[in-house]
C-alpha cells in the first residue's frame, strides 16, 4: 500500500476547528492535503446521513471536529454530535467500516497546531489501515 | 403483585370464550369500543377491527397467527388527539412496545386506551398465513396454538413461524394494562387474565373477575420458551453478521432491493410523515447519475439503496422492536428483520436502551448529558 493516499472528509465547526485550520495555514503549520474540509455551523448539524454517504462514496475516514464541551456556540450541539457518533460507531463497524475511520475531536479556534497534528496522525493511521473497501464497490 | 384470574373456556373453545370475555367489556359504560384482531366476513384474513356493538365481537381472534401489520400504527391514529371515548386495544407484545416508543415520540398517547396485551405465540409471514389458514379457516387458530405451544415451529410441512417471532424473547405483554395469558395454561379449559396496572385493575374489578392464582408451571413454560428463542436469535444474529460484515457483502445482501420503501411504511417506529428518501434531496438530476457512473465506471440503478438502509438504521434502530413487519412487507423477500435486529441489538446496547421497556426512559437521541461517552472522543495530545 506504498502509494495509497487516503481521502479524509472533515466536517469542521465554523467557530472553532475551521478557524483552527485557518490558523494552521497562516502560521505555516504543514499538514497533508488528504483532508477535504467541509465547514458547518456546528457539529450539531452533522446529520448521520452525511457521514454514511461519505463512507459509501469511498471516503477512507471521516472526521467531525467541533468546540470543546461548554464552548459550543449553540450551547449543546457538540453533545448531540457526540451521541450521534456513539450511534454510528455502533452501526458502521458491523458492516466492515473500521471504527478507526470515524473520529470526533474537539479542537478550539486557537489550536492550529493541534489541528495540523490531528490530521497528520489520522493520515498515517489510515494509511496503515488501508483503503475503505466501499471505494470501488457499486454500493450507493 | 398483579391480580390474576382464570377464565373458563366454555365448550373447550378459546375463541368463543375470548369473544364473551371481550363482549362483557363493551357492557361497561366507560368503554366505547374495542379494537382487536378479528376474522373478516369474507375470506380467512384476520385484521384489526374497531367494534362498538357487543353483538359483533364474535369474530375476535387475537391468537390467530396472522400479523398483517403492527397495530401500533393504528393505535397512534386513534390516540394522537382525543377520540371522545375509551378504547380497549388488543395488542401483541411487540405492538405494545412500538406504541410505547410512539408515545415517547409524541405520536400517540396512553390517555384514552386500555391495553389488553396477549401472550404471543408468534405468527406467520402474510403469504404463509394464507397458505396455512386456507386449509381449514375455522380451526386454523386452534391448530396453530396446539402445535406452537408444544414447541412446533413448522406447520403442514411447509410453513414456518416467521423469523422475527422465532427470535423474539418478549412473548409476554409487558406494558399492558390487562394481560391475557395462554403460556402454561390448559387452553382448552381456561385462559389467564391479569391486571398489570391501576387501569387494568379497575377494569378487572368492574368485570367482577374472581381472583385466582396463575398455575405454577406458567413461569417455567415461559422460561423454557425464552431459552429456545434466545438460542435461535443468537444463531440468527451470527449468521446475518457473517453475511453483512463488509460493505460489499451488505450490498449483496440488499441487492434485490428496489427502493420501494415498503419496509419503512410497514415499520411501526418509522414515523416521519415525509421520509427524507422521498424528498427532493434524492430526486437527483439526470446528469448526476451520469457523473456518478463516470466516476465509478458503473453504478447500480436504482441508486441510494445501501445508503437508505444504513440511514434507516441510524434513524430508527434504537426504537426497533423486532416485529418483523419490514420483512413481511418486502416484495423481494429480503431478510430485513434479521439485519435490522442484529444491528439494533448493538445500537441499543450502546445506549443501554430497550425500546418499549418504559415510558419514562427518553429516546437516546432526544437527550444528552454533558459528561458521557468520553470513549468516542479522540484524546487530545
Ligand atoms: S425495523 Fe422491522 S422489525 Fe424493527 S420495528 Fe421496524 S418493522 Fe419491526
Ligand atoms: S421493502 Fe424490500 S425492496 Fe422495498 S425498500 Fe424495503 S428492502 Fe427494498
Ligand atoms: S458551535 Fe462549534 S460545535 Fe457547536
Domains of chain A as residue ranges with CATH? 8-135 (3.40.50)
pLDDT tens, A21-44?
999 999 999 999 999 999 999 999
Does residue B228 surpass a pLDDT of 80?
Answer: yes
Residues B189 and B246 in one domain: no
Give the rounded distance of the alpha carbon of B361 from its chain centre.
19
Neighbours of B93 (CB within 10 A): 24
pLDDT band at B2 (very low <50, low <70, confident <90, very high): confident
Using CB distances shorter than 6 Å, the residues near ligand 3 are A 13, 15-16, 42-44, 66-67, 72-74, 77-78
Does residue B35 surpass a pLDDT of 70?
Answer: yes
Whole-number pLDDT of residue B155: 95
Total domains present in chain B: 2
Residues B286 and B210 in one domain: no
Peptide bond into B302 cis (omega under 30): yes
Among A72, A84, A105, say which to mutate for ligand 3: greatest number of ligand atoms within 8 Å of CB.
A72
Considering the domain boundaries, does residue B111 fall inside one? yes
C-alpha B231/C-alpha B225 separation (Å) is 10
Residues B183 and B257 in one domain: no
pLDDT tens, B118-157?
999 999 999 999 999 998 888 999 999 999 999 999 999 9
Q: What is the DSSP letter of B278?
A: G
Q: What percent of chain A has pLDDT over 90?
A: 91
Minimum CA distance residue for ligand 2 atom 2? B330
Measured CA distances, B114 to B68, B95, B163 (Å): 22, 14, 29
Residue A96, chain B, CB below 8 Å: the answer is yes
Does residue A1 surpass a pLDDT of 70?
Answer: no
Whole-number pLDDT of residue A2: 60
If you average pLDDT over residues A54-70, what whole number do you get? 96
Using CB atoms within 10 A of its CB, is residue A137 exposed (0-12), middle (13-18) or buried (19+)?
A: buried
Residue B243, chain A, CB below 8 Å: the answer is no
Question: Which domain, by its residues, includes B358?
Answer: 231-377
| Chain A interface disruption, residue of B250, B298, B376, most A CBs within 10 A | B376
* Interchain contact, B296 vs A104, CB within 8 Å: no
Residues B99 and B149 in one domain: yes
Residues B159 and B238 in one domain: no
Does residue B360 surpass a pLDDT of 80?
Answer: yes
**Sign of CA pseudo-dihedral A80, A82, A84, A87:** negative
pLDDT tens, B184-203?
999 999 999 999 999 999 99
Residues B39 and B167 in one domain: yes
Considering the domain boundaries, does residue B367 fall inside one? yes
Residue B32, chain A, CB below 8 Å: the answer is no
Ligand 3, residue A13: give the atom nearest the CA: 2
Residue B33 pairs with which residues in a beta bridge? Answer: B87
pLDDT tens, B59-101?
999 999 999 999 999 999 999 999 999 999 999 999 999 999 9
If you average pLDDT over residues B300-325, what whole number do you get? 97
Considering the domain boundaries, does residue B224 fall inside one? no
Residues B133 and B235 in one domain: no
Whole-number pLDDT of residue B66: 96
Q: Which residues of B touch A89 (CB under 8 A)?
A: 350, 376
Residues B206 and B166 in one domain: yes
Considering the domain boundaries, does residue B142 fall inside one? yes
Q: Which residues of A touch B373 (CB under 8 A)?
A: 82-83, 85-86
pLDDT band at B362 (very low <50, low <70, confident <90, very high): very high
User: How far does residue A65's CA lie from ligand 3's centre (Å)?
Assistant: 9
Report whether residue B266 contacts ligand 1, using a CB cutoff of 6 Å.
yes
User: How far does residue B338's CA lie from ligand 1's centre (Å)?
Assistant: 10
Residue A130, chain B, CB below 8 Å: the answer is no
Whole-number pLDDT of residue B358: 97
Minimum CA distance residue for ligand 1 atom 7? B267
Considering the domain boundaries, does residue B129 fall inside one? yes
Residues B16 and B135 in one domain: yes
Residues B277 and B206 in one domain: no
| pTM for this model (two decimals) | 0.96
pLDDT band at A139 (very low <50, low <70, confident <90, very high): low
User: How far does residue B284's CA lie from ligand 3's centre (Å)?
Assistant: 30
| Chain A interface disruption, residue of B254, B290, B313, B375, most A CBs within 10 A | B313
Q: What percent of chain B has pLDDT over 90?
A: 91
**Arithmetic mean of pLDDT over chain B:** 95
Measured CA distances, B338 to B126, B305, B317, B341, B356 (Å): 17, 17, 12, 6, 19
Residues B257 and B360 in one domain: yes
Report whether residue B356 contacts ligand 1, using a CB cutoff of 6 Å.
no
C-alpha B65/C-alpha B246 separation (Å) is 36
ipTM value, please give it.
0.96
Whole-number pLDDT of residue B137: 87
Q: What is the DSSP letter of B28?
A: S
Considering the domain boundaries, does residue B88 fall inside one? yes
Whole-number pLDDT of residue B107: 96
Considering the domain boundaries, does residue B226 fall inside one? no
- As a whole number of angstroms, the longest Cα–Cα distance in chain B is 77
Considering the domain boundaries, does residue B159 fall inside one? yes
Query: Please, are residues B320 and B261 in contact by the beta-carbon 8 Å criterion?
Result: no
Nearest-by-Cβ selection for B347 from A79, A85, A90: A90
Residues B280 and B185 in one domain: no
Domain-terminating residue out of B175, B190, B218: B218
Residue B304, chain A, CB below 8 Å: the answer is yes
Amino acid at each position: 500500500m506504498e502509494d495509497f493516499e487516503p481521502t479524509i472528509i472533515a466536517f469542521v465547526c465554523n467557530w472553532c476547528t475551521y478557524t483552527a485550520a485557518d490558523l494552521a495555514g497562516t502560521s505555516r503549520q504543514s499538514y497533508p492535503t488528504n483532508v477535504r474540509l467541509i465547514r458547518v455551523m456546528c457539529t450539531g448539524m452533522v446529520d448521520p446521513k452525511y457521514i454514511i454517504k461519505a463512507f459509501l462514496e469511498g471516503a477512507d475516514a471521516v472526521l467531525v471536529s467541533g468546540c470543546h464541551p461548554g464552548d459550543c456556540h449553540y450551547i449543546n450541539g457538540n453533545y448531540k454530535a457526540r451521541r450521534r457518533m456513539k450511534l454510528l460507531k455502533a452501526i458502521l463497524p458491523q458492516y466492515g467500516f473500521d471504527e478507526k475511520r470515524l473520529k470526533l475531536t474537539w479542537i478550539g479556534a486557537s489550536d492550529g497546531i493541534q489541528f495540523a497534528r490531528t490530521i497528520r496522525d489520522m493520515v498515517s493511521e489510515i494509511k496503515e489501515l488501508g483503503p475503505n473497501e466501499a471505494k470501488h464497490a457499486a454500493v450507493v | 403483585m398483579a391480580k390474576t384470574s382464570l377464565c373458563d373456556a366454555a365448550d373447550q373453545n378459546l375463541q368463543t370464550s375470548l369473544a364473551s370475555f371481550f363482549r362483557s367489556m363493551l357492557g361497561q359504560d366507560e368503554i366505547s369500543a374495542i379494537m382487536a384482531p378479528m376474522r373478516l366476513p369474507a375470506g380467512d384474513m384476520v385484521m384489526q377491527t374497531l367494534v362498538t356493538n357487543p353483538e359483533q365481537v364474535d369474530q375476535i381472534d387475537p391468537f390467530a397467527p396472522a400479523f398483517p401489520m403492527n397495530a401500533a400504527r393504528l393505535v397512534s391514529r386513534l390516540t394522537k388527539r382525543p377520540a371522545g371515548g375509551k378504547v380497549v386495544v388488543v395488542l401483541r407484545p411487540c405492538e405494545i412496545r412500538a406504541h410505547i416508543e410512539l408515545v415517547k415520540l409524541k405520536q400517540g398517547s396512553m390517555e384514552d386506551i386500555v391495553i389488553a396485551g396477549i401472550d404471543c405465540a408468534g405468527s406467520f409471514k402474510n403469504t404463509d398465513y394464507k397458505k396455512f389458514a386456507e386449509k381449514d379457516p375455522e380451526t386454523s387458530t386452534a391448530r396453530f396454538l396446539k402445535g406452537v405451544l408444544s414447541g412446533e415451529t413448522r406447520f403442514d410441512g411447509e410453513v414456518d413461524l416467521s423469523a422475527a417471532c422465532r427470535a423474539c424473547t418478549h412473548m409476554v405483554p409487558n406494558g399492558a394494562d390487562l394481560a391475557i395469558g395462554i403460556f402454561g395454561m390448559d387452553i382448552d379449559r381456561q385462559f389467564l387474565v391479569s391486571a398489570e396496572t391501576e387501569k387494568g385493575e379497575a377494569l378487572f374489578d368492574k368485570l367482577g373477575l374472581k381472583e385466582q392464582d396463575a398455575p405454577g408451571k406458567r413461569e417455567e413454560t415461559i422460561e423454557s420458551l425464552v431459552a429456545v428463542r434466545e438460542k435461535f436469535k443468537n444463531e440468527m444474529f451470527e449468521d446475518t453478521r457473517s453475511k453483512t460484515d463488509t460493505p460489499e457483502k451488505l450490498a449483496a445482501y440488499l441487492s434485490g432491493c428496489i427502493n420501494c420503501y415498503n419496509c419503512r411504511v410497514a415499520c411501526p417506529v418509522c414515523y416521519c410523515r415525509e421520509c427524507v428518501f422521498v424528498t427532493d434531496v434524492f430526486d437527483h438530476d439526470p446528469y448526476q447519475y451520469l457523473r456518478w457512473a463516470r466516476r465509478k465506471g458503473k453504478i447500480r440503478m436504482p441508486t441510494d439503496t445501501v445508503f437508505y438502509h444504513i440511514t434507516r438504521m441510524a434513524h430508527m434502530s434504537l426504537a426497533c422492536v423486532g416485529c418483523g413487519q419490514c420483512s413481511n412487507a418486502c416484495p423481494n423477500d429480503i431478510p430485513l428483520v434479521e439485519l435490522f435486529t442484529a444491528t439494533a441489538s448493538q445500537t441499543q446496547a450502546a445506549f443501554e436502551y430497550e425500546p418499549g421497556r418504559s415510558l419514562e426512559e427518553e429516546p437516546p437521541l432526544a437527550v444528552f448529558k454533558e459528561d458521557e461517552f468520553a470513549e468516542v472522543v479522540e484524546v487530545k495530545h
